[in-house]
Structure 1
Amino acid sequence: MAPAWLSVPHGALSLDRAPSIHFRPDQPASRGVPAVLRRPGTVAVSVAALRRPLVATVAAATNTAAAASVEERERTFIEEMRAVAMRLHSRDQSKYGEKEAPMEPPVAKWRPTVEGYLRFLVDSKLVFETLEAIVDSAAIPWYAEFRSTGLERSEPLKKDLEWFRQQGHKIPEPCAPGITYASLLEELSVKEPYAFVCHFYNVYFAHSAGGRIIGKEVAEKIHLQKELEFYEWEGDLSQLQQNIRGKLNQVASGWSRAEKDRCLDEMEKAFACSIDLRRHMF
């Protein structure tokens, strides 16, 4: 059993020499340990007192590490998704790109028409309507976390298409790319929810990032004299994006590594489906 007290010189604790032990004569032998270990010119210091700062430091470090671990875990999955998406770009599109050639031609080489643009808008409306209906019905309970994000686009697209109609343009019916993609989303949402989330992420974030740039350039090429509501959001877009990142992180925090990998594995398919929609414009 360790002694209850340690003797240390004034101003410093010395552990290089064993202190002298003095038993009090009247101390019962059954206690087995001295009450005080002391040398002349020393100060009695409690082991408990010595341990308190160390315990407090360790506890603080443990709490900080635990908090950092939670933060890192929540942040990492979105970073993983973004990293996978960036790698699907070509090297001239992104410094993180790994594709030898882009999956679609550069926007500068596109030759869009109003008719092709309308087909893109109609198909996009069908895709966004499908995504919104899936999260609203929430066949998988945690889909409900993705409701009312502020990134929804079906209503703005409806208004844009009505504007084109009023300008005398004929609004087409959805085409094969939009119909096929909407059907895929419905199927995945039931059978493979982790893959579905990858498409949800890609559709919303691709449109609110690179999609805005594409929309502006295409509008200039077809001499569109209107800023479409498709490319306008109520509130601060960066904050809306951050909010949905938080929701995605929260949901994914309960997934296994295999479930997260299934989500990431779907990224190239999500890219290909989005490119099929844009093919109307190039």
Structure 2
Amino acid sequence: MALAAATLGSSPLVSISVSAARMNSSGLSVSFGARRVPGISVQIHSQRRSMVMAAAARGEEGAVKTFVEEMRATAMRLHTKDQAGEGEKELKGPSLHEQEPNLEAYLRFLVDSKLIFQTLENIVNRAAVPCYAEFRNTGLERSEALKKDLKWFGEQGHTIPEPSALETTYASYLEELSKKDQQAFFCHFYNLYFAQSAGGRMTGKKIAEKILNKKELEFYKWEGTLSELLQNVRKKLNQVASSWTQEEKNHCLEETETAFAYSVDRLRKIFT
């Protein structure tokens, strides 16, 4: 799926591999290198780092981009064309959209998504870093919507699973970042919420058509005008980033590899 490579190390919770280039039955195989995070070890190759830093320094025509535009451009470099119209990676192997979703696996995906979005909400509500408080009640929150969806599935007689080991590890990683590394945390915050508003909705629609008799889940609905909600969060993110050094901004952009690897693995579960 993207240029991500992630290998789970000695975590007692789970053993999995992650690959951005293509999907396989074993998961995602990702080799980034030096950096260790709970459940996934990631290293940014020097070539990738140079590209990220270059993207941070210039716009499409040499014009200065807002920082959120830089974040988006960095994320697009990890997407294929079937994932996003502006994706830059070549698709290798079948598109996810050509694969058949599995209802039981989709329930696991929803459970894992609820855990991650609830973790983000808890972090901004506690606001261990004062600027996190600016991101309370943005209208993008997803945990309550997912709670309603999972309740509906339960009422239909489906067994609701527990969160997976990898996503539990990811939630802990987000908690750790939020306390020690706000730039990296905001990278995950941005990618999770904005991906759900774009590619997430597309995936949800396709799954509804294939296995839910076109039922639209609450996970893919927002109160208010979504474009306005997103723009409000863009402004807040740009305001926060305005106080960062260029090195801190580059550090935030580099975390995109890790955020993307986790998201790819969670999405892959729908089709296994």
* TM-score normalised over the length of structure 1: 0.70
Contact 1:123 1:177 in 2 (8 A): no
Q: 1:280 offset after TM fit, Å? A: 1.4
Q: Secondary structure at the match of 1:151?
A: coil
| Structure 1 pair 191–221 and aligned structure 2 pair: CA distance change class (3 A) | same
Partner residue of 1:234?
223
Letter of the aligned partner of 2:180 in structure 1?
Answer: K
Instruction: Say yes or no: does 1:118 pair with 2:118.
Output: no
Letter of the aligned partner of 2:99 in structure 1?
Answer: W
Letter of the aligned partner of 1:202 in structure 2?
Answer: N
Deviations 1:17-51 (A, max 9, x none): xxxxxxxxxxxxxxxxxxxxxxxxxxxxxxxxxxx
Q: 1:114 offset after TM fit, Å? A: 1.2
Partner residue of 1:281?
270
Runs (4+) of structure 1 exceeding 3 A deviation are: 91-98
Contact 2:75 2:256 in 1 (8 A): yes
Q: 1:93 offset after TM fit, Å? A: 4.7
Q: What is the correspondence of 1:34-53 to structure 2 with a 5 Å cutoff?
A: none
Match of 2:70 among 80, 84, 93: 80
Q: What is the rounded CA distance, in whole Å, between the counterparts of 1:93 and 1:230 in structure 2?
A: 19
**Greater fraction of residues in helix:** 1
Q: What is the rounded CA distance, in whole Å, between the counterparts of 2:264 and 2:201 in structure 1?
A: 15
| Structure 1 pair 227–90 and aligned structure 2 pair: CA distance change class (3 A) | closer
Match of 1:272 among 241, 261, 266: 261
Structure 1: 5+ residue runs without aligned partners?
1-71
Q: 1:100 offset after TM fit, Å? A: 3.6
Q: 1:95 offset after TM fit, Å? A: 6.2
Q: What is the rounded CA distance, in whole Å, between the counterparts of 2:78 and 2:178 in structure 1?
A: 23
Q: What is the rounded CA distance, in whole Å, between the counterparts of 2:151 and 2:81 in structure 1?
A: 39
Partner residue of 1:57?
none
Contact 1:177 1:277 in 2 (8 A): no
Q: What is the rounded CA distance, in whole Å, between the counterparts of 1:261 and 1:208 in structure 2?
A: 24
Q: 1:273 offset after TM fit, Å? A: 0.7
Letter of the aligned partner of 1:160 in structure 2?
Answer: D
Q: What is the rounded CA distance, in whole Å, between the counterparts of 1:247 and 1:232 in structure 2?
A: 22
Contact 1:107 1:217 in 2 (8 A): no
Contact 1:107 1:214 in 2 (8 A): no
Structure 2: 5+ residue runs without aligned partners?
1-62
Q: Secondary structure at the match of 1:152?
A: coil
Letter of the aligned partner of 1:77 in structure 2?
Answer: F
Q: What is the correspondence of 1:48-67 to structure 2 with a 5 Å cutoff?
A: none
Q: Percent identity?
A: 64
Q: Secondary structure at the match of 1:83?
A: helix
Partner residue of 1:191?
180
Contact 1:120 1:278 in 2 (8 A): yes
Partner residue of 1:168?
157
Partner residue of 1:135?
124
Match of 2:201 among 196, 208, 212: 212
Letter of the aligned partner of 2:154 in structure 1?
Answer: R
Number of aligned residue pairs: give it.
Answer: 209
Q: What is the rounded CA distance, in whole Å, between the counterparts of 2:162 and 2:81 in structure 1?
A: 36
Q: What is the rounded CA distance, in whole Å, between the counterparts of 1:225 and 1:188 in structure 2?
A: 38
Contact 2:187 2:253 in 1 (8 A): yes
| Higher radius of gyration, 1 or 2 | 1
Higher relative contact order (CA 8 A, sep 6+): 2
Q: What is the rounded CA distance, in whole Å, between the counterparts of 1:94 and 1:126 in structure 2?
A: 25
Q: What is the rounded CA distance, in whole Å, between the counterparts of 2:132 and 2:185 in structure 1?
A: 10
Q: Secondary structure at the match of 2:119?
A: helix
Partner residue of 2:250?
261
How large is the RMSD of aligned CA atoms in angstroms?
Answer: 1.8
Q: 1:277 offset after TM fit, Å? A: 1.1
Q: What is the rounded CA distance, in whole Å, between the counterparts of 1:273 and 1:250 in structure 2?
A: 27
Instruction: Say yes or no: does 1:222 pair with 2:202.
Output: no
Q: What is the rounded CA distance, in whole Å, between the counterparts of 2:88 and 2:221 in structure 1?
A: 31
